[in-house]
Amino acid sequence: MADFALTAPDRTIFGRGCRDQTVAEVGALGARVLVVRGRSVAWVSELETALATAGIAVESLLSQGEPSLPEVRQGVETARNFGADCILAVGGGAVIDLGKAISGLCPSDGDPADFLELGNARPRHLSDPLPFVALPTTAGTGAEATRNAVIGVPDRQMKISLRDPRLLPDLAIVDPALTDGAPSALTMATGLDAITQLIESYLCIRANPVTDALCSATIPDAMRALCRLAKAEDPAARDTMARASHLSGLALANSGLGVVHGLASVIGGRGGAHGAICGRLLAAALTVNAQKARQLDMSMQRFEAVERWLAEALGANPGQGIVALQAFVTAQRVPTLAQLHVPEADFYAVAEQALTASSTKGNPVPLSAQDITDILAQAARG
Ligand SMILES: [Fe+2]
């Protein structure tokens, strides 16, 4: 067994209705709070009023989508000008990543680009971040449980992570009720992201006993819950997906991921939704990875477990789990690779870029650019 270390948010509160604890919890951490929020969650306005009523000074920052370097710069400036002593992010993964980046960069002198792995110079170390509270409103990325913030760098068409164990939130408040009634396309994309993160963490070369326990206990339930949500609104299934999302964040932060997320980091730079990219690629990546593992005479135990969990959850015959997953993705109208701005002519170039992505380094088998091109070709056919 390989060595491992574990990280997690300092504290997590999980449960339907637990958002009611937000004002008291945030008030214990700061008196001047920058609220980073998305557009779509009306409850955040109520929360801001409640924070102000409790005597907490509030400044609001609207996230524009997946954070870009210019948006991060602007957010850091807003936090500094306001004199924020605490950052509260309420929203999806992009909002939480923006809040996380601001909490890390606000106390650190210099330009945000100095702290990113942009190739040439070694990134600078962050000063101690501001206290950070993350409150997810989607069940997908598990960003409230990870130590990195994904930041788009427009002039490179790439997404790069700001990484530091101290970026883990001081508190994650996970209330599944905030995901009730989410639109179907969002539910599917975010849910498939969570499932991809759990499966890639389970298969990752750096999986450890804790991530194994998290993933094996969660993958079957999550796939079943997502199937239920494909048919109808279901609060119990929402609870399951919110838990799966959070645990997927804990897992990936402690094991790593694989080629699907390596590809997503490249393809995401073209503007497609992260969860849709993961969902579109997962079945093809599992197929090619399993073929490679067989060729290399590796143990197939983990691949067989994933195949069995998928088949059972999707109601497929034994051995047909990955096929059933691909059919589910297609039935749910997850965008195609062409719709995600990846034409066939670009497959090899995208594959070459994905080879060097940090997530790909955790893939269970070594892959060539041609293997990754095969994943893209299979996903396009699926
Ligand atoms: Fe992801």
Spacing, Cα 72 to ligand 1 middle (Å): 20
pLDDT band at 37 (very low <50, low <70, confident <90, very high): very high
Residue 273 clears pLDDT 80, i.e. is over it: yes
Spacing, Cα 182 to ligand 1 middle (Å): 18
Is residue 188 within 8 A of residue 234, CB to CB? The reply is no
Which residue type, as a one-letter code, is found at position 289? N
Q: What percentage of residues in the chain have a pLDDT greater than 70? A: 99
Residues with CB under 5 A from ligand 1 (ion): 193
* Predicted local confidence at residue 120, as pLDDT: 61
Spacing, Cα 194 to ligand 1 middle (Å): 7
Which residue type, as a one-letter code, is found at position 187? T
Spacing, Cα 248 to ligand 1 middle (Å): 9
Spacing, Cα 331 to ligand 1 middle (Å): 21
Spacing, Cα 308 to ligand 1 middle (Å): 22
pLDDT band at 133 (very low <50, low <70, confident <90, very high): very high
Q: What is the mean pLDDT of residues 121-135?
A: 90
For 56, phi then psi, to 5°, come to: -95, 130
For 34, phi then psi, to 5°, come to: -90, 120
Spacing, Cα 49 to ligand 1 middle (Å): 32
Q: Domains (ranges, CATH) in the chain?
A: 11-178 (3.40.50.1970), 183-381 (1.20.1090.10)
Spacing, Cα 169 to ligand 1 middle (Å): 18
Q: Could you tell me which residue, 275 or 109, shows the higher pLDDT?
A: 275
- Cα distances (Å, whole numbers) of residue 299 to 213, 319, 364, 372: 19, 17, 11, 21
pLDDT band at 109 (very low <50, low <70, confident <90, very high): confident
pLDDT tens for residues 182-215? 999 999 999 999 999 999 999 999 999 999 999 9
Spacing, Cα 117 to ligand 1 middle (Å): 19
Residue 169 clears pLDDT 90, i.e. is over it: yes
Distance CA 320, CA 327 (A): 10
Q: What is the mean pLDDT of residues 46-58?
A: 97
